[in-house]
């Protein structure tokens, strides 16, 4: 049985590899565009996937409402930018304020969602917390839809076209460049937070063993809240960036983006932060090639297929560790 799977896998990889090389040779610019497009896409996934993976690492919950936090980030940015734009403020100030508001509000929502829907269920069966998370996701989507509009709303990019980037803009736009650079900066900052700060150490300790961490005087509730807040902040940044990139948003954008990011987190190994980044980049780039060279309408099918394959053959993901069952 195993050999059949391996043979099929090798055959598919071989065929794809062959087709890929042929395509690269015939049109290298298109290939480069797809690669950079995939990198951009992967960066956005990474910004969202971080929240999933951090929360999962600490309370072993798939935070279903995380995609909604990302959507709320984008939505807040749009609202703030619109209001300030109408008042005739300077574009640079608007951009900064929009991002600040998006981040602050997403964090506040993430914090509140945890307090309402997850904290009371911390000792409940996992299924209960997961259902509560689904309920929260449903609620937030409909809340934004009813308060604003079900239609797509155009989003004017907050990022100007950089003059110095003009010569390369035909391969990669300024927005895409900003997305990739921002993601790198966020990742570095996050790495510093987790590795070197007090709260970062507390987070790692809590992820390992909640009870022990509490015994050592770590305020576990506070650590969990912080995790939600940090995850929400990166998701909000992702939300604003993607809104600038795509140019329109609605209440539903968080659903699919959230799912994709979750897939990326699982692909990299859920609970592992480098894994989430790696998984996101792999997923983003392979999706970009798949849609660019094969069938764009089956993009989501491709992502889900990756998820199924990973979960069946390597449920711990690329960088994850196998967890032994406790008896």
Partner 1 sequence: MEPILNVKNLTMTFGGLKALDNVNIAIEKGQIAALIGPNGAGKTTFFNCITGIYEPSKGQVTITPPGKSSQTLKGLKPNQVTERGLARTFQNIRLFQGMTVLENVMIGRHCRMNAGIFGAMIRPKSQKSEEKKATYASYEILEKIGLEKYVNEMAVNLPYGAQRRLEIARALATDPFLLLLDEPAAGMNPQETKELDDLIIWLRDNEDLSILLIEHDMKLVMSLSDRIHVVDYGKKIAEGTPKEVKSNPEVIKAYLGDDSDDA
Partner 2 sequence: MVTIKKIKQAFFIALWFMVLTFPIMVIKVNTITDTVVFRWSYLFWNGIGTFFASLTWNYFLHLKENKQKTETSDDIPMVHQLLQNDRFRIPFLIALAVFFLIYPFVFPMYHTSIMISALVYVMLGLGLNIVVGLAGLLDLGYVAFYCVGAYAYALLNLHFGVSFWLALPISAVLGFMFGTLLGYPVLRLRGDYLAIVTLGFGEIIRIIMENWDDFSNGPRGISNIPPPNFFGIDLGQHGSVIYIYFIVIALVLMTIFFVGRLENSRLGRAWIALRDDEVACQAMGIDKVKTKLTAFALGATWASIGGVVFAAKTSYINPMSFTIWESITILCVVVIGGMGSAIGVIAGALVLILLPEYLRAVAEYRMLVFGALQVIVMVFKPDGLIKSVRKTYKFKKVEE
Binding site for partner 1 (CB under 8 A): 324-325, 327
In whole angstroms, what is the distance from residue 98 CA to residue 106 CA? 12
Q: 211 or 324: whose CB is closer to partner 1?
A: 324
- Residues with Cβ within 8 Å of residue 39, at least 6 apart in sequence: 180, 281, 284, 285
Structure tokens at 229: 């807040």
Coil, helix or strand at residue 167? helix
In whole angstroms, what is the distance from residue 84 CA to residue 76 CA? 12
Cβ-based neighbour number of residue 206 at 10 Å: 26
List the single partner that 135 binds among partner 2, partner 1, none, CB under 5 to 8 Å by kind.
Answer: partner 2
Q: 147 or 324: whose CB is closer to partner 1?
A: 324
What is the smallest separation between the CB atom of 190 and partner 2, expressed in angstroms? 24
Considering only CA atoms, give the Rg of the chain.
Answer: 20
Q: Which residues, numbered 85-114, are part of the site for partner 2 (CB under 8 A)?
A: 85-86, 101, 105, 108-109, 112
Of 187, 159, 155, nearest in space to 45 by CA: 187
Q: 26 or 325: whose CB is closer to partner 1?
A: 325
List the single partner that 324 binds among partner 1, partner 2, none, CB under 5 to 8 Å by kind.
Answer: partner 1
- Residues with Cβ within 8 Å of residue 15, at least 6 apart in sequence: none
Task: List the Cα angle 311/317/320 in 5-degree steps.
Answer: 135
- Residues with Cβ within 8 Å of residue 204, at least 6 apart in sequence: 194
Q: 170 or 326: whose CB is closer to partner 1?
A: 326
Q: Among the candidate windows 10-18, 36-44, 145-153, 193-201, which touches partner 2 by CB under 8 A?
A: 145-153
List the single partner that 229 binds among partner 1, partner 2, none, CB under 5 to 8 Å by kind.
Answer: none
List the single partner that 79 binds among partner 2, partner 1, none, CB under 5 to 8 Å by kind.
Answer: partner 2
| 156 lies in the binding site for partner 2 (CB under 8 A) | yes
What is the smallest separation between the CB atom of 22 and partner 1, expressed in angstroms? 44
- Residues with Cβ within 8 Å of residue 318, at least 6 apart in sequence: 267, 268, 269, 275, 278, 279, 282
**Interface residues with partner 2 (CB under 8 A)?**
61-62, 72, 75-76, 78-80, 82-83, 85-86, 101, 105, 108-109, 112, 116-117, 120-121, 124-132, 134-144, 146-149, 153-156, 255, 259, 262-263, 266, 295, 297-298, 300-301, 304-305, 307-308, 311-312, 315, 325, 327
């Amino acid at each position: 049985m195993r050999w059949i799977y391996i043979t099929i896998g090798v055959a598919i990889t071989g065929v794809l590899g062959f087709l890929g090389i042929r395509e690269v040779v015939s049109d290298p610019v298109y290939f480069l565009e797809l690669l950079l497009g995939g990198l951009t896409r992967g960066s956005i996934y990474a910004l969202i996937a971080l929240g999933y993976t951090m929360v999962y690492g600490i309370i072993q919950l798939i935070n279903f409402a995380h995609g909604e936090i990302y959507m709320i980030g984008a939505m807040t940015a749009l609202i703030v930018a619109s209001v300030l734009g109408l008042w005739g403020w300077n574009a640079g100030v608007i951009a900064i304020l929009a991002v600040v508001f998006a981040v602050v509000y997403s964090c506040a929502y993430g914090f509140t969602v945890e307090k309402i829907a997850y904290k009371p269920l911390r000792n409940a069966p996992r299924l209960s917390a997961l259902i509560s998370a689904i309920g929260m996701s449903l609620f937030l989507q409909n809340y934004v839809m009813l308060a604003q509009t079900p239609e797509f709303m155009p989003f004017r990019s907050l990022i100007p076209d950089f003059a110095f980037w003009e010569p390369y803009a035909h391969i990669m736009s300024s927005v895409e460049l900003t997305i990739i650079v921002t993601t790198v900066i966020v990742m570095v900052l996050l790495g510093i937070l987790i590795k070197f700060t007090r709260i970062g150490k507390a987070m790692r300790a809590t992820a390992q063993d909640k009870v022990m961490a509490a015994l050592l005087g770590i305020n576990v509730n506070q650590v969990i809240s912080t995790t939600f807040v940090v995850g929400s902040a990166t998701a909000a940044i992702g939300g604003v960036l993607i809104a600038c990139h795509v140019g329109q948003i609605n209440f539903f954008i968080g659903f699919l983006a959230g799912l994709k990011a979750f897939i990326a987190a699982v692909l990299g190994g859920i609970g592992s932060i480098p894994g989430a980044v790696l998984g996101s980049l792999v997923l983003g780039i392979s999706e970009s090639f798949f849609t660019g060279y094969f069938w764009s309408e089956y993009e989501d099918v491709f992502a889900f297929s990756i998820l199924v394959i990973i979960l069946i053959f390597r449920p711990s993901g690329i960088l994850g560790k196998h967890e032994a069952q406790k008896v």
